[in-house]
Amino acid sequence: MSTDAAQPQLNWVFLGPPGVGKGTYATRAAKAFGIPHIATGDLIRAEIAAGTDMGKQMKAIVNSGKLLPDAMVQEVLQARLAKGRAEGERGFLLDGFPRTRAQAEQLVQSVDVGLVLNMSLREEVLVEKCMGRRLCRHCGKNYNIADIYLPASGGRPEIIMPPLSPPPECAPHLETRADDTEPVIRHRLEVYKREATPVEDFFRQRGLLVDFEITAGIPETLPYLMPLLQSYVGRRANEPPVKA
Ligand code: AMP
């Protein structure tokens, strides 16, 4: 496969806290725009599973819940991007990277980033959504039993998120992640805020950050998200962001 010169490069980044649905939206968007969804967490887990020397070093750090040193993440990410370029991929949708300002700087030095979508959701909803996550041990699918309704208040929009209910055959096999308890979720959100603020500031200063607040479920949100993303296709670096 070769890169079609008529097709614009799409180098996009999705940022967002745990529970916002970033992985799901990233998967849908990548598919719709014909670019790979590259999650550094997945690349790292694959390296660990392969049992390489680097994978062994990574395992200890990942299991402790800390971020990996930038050089290690860069190694797996750059290898993945190089493979994509060789195969004619027309860009990427990055998820889980950059996590630090240094990573953000390295990224913009090596590629023209066209868009950084900063997904957000009110904190009380994030907690409820994380607590409502269920995984079916049998079929491997993810569900969410949280049924969320928050009325509009203080200028903030109403939030309606119906549950993503498991079918009856999954009901006996549902599991909750060990780290999806309320104190652990609140801690993860604090850590995320600390990590993400310098990254958001970095991209905002460069006019690349587009804030996108989620106020509804996936089927209701996609009809807003997809046209927004479409408006960034072909946008060259350093052009002002299109108004959402
Ligand atoms: P995730 O699946 O994105 O939650 O990532 C799982 C783990 O991989 C994280 O807890 C980190 O230890 C590591 N990791 C993933 N992405 C990065 C990154 N950009 N920088 C440093 N560590 C990372």
pLDDT of residue 74: 95
CB burial of 5-39 (b: ≥16 within 10 Å; e: otherwise) equals eeeebbbbbbbbbbbbbbbebbebbbeebebbbbb
Q: Which residue in this structure is represented by tokens 């599973």?
A: 49
Instruction: Say how many C-beta atoms besides its own lie within 10 A of residue 4's C-beta.
Output: 9
Catalytic amino acids? Answer: 22, 99, 133, 177, 188
From the options 3.40.50.2300, 3.60.150.10, 2.30.30.30, 3.40.50.300, give the CATH code of 10-36+89-230.
Answer: 3.40.50.300
Among 13, 27, 20, CA closest to 216: 20
> Residue 145 Cα, ligand 1 centroid: separation in angstroms?
26
pLDDT of residue 2: 44
From 99, 106, 142, mutation site for ligand 1 pocket: most ligand atoms within 8 A of C-beta: 99
From 15, 22, 27, 40, mutation site for ligand 1 pocket: most ligand atoms within 8 A of C-beta: 40
| pTM of this prediction exceeds 0.95 | no
Instruction: Say how many C-beta atoms besides its own lie within 10 A of residue 220's C-beta.
Output: 13
Q: What is the pLDDT along the chain (244 residues), one digit of tens a residue?
A: 444 556 789 999 999 998 898 998 999 999 999 999 999 999 999 999 999 999 999 999 988 878 899 999 999 999 999 999 999 999 999 999 999 999 999 999 999 999 999 999 998 899 999 899 999 999 988 899 999 999 998 888 899 999 999 999 999 999 998 778 898 889 889 989 999 999 999 999 999 999 999 999 888 999 999 999 999 997 765 565 555 4
Ligand 1 proximity of 199 Cβ (cutoff 6 Å): no
pLDDT of residue 6: 62
pLDDT of residue 155: 85
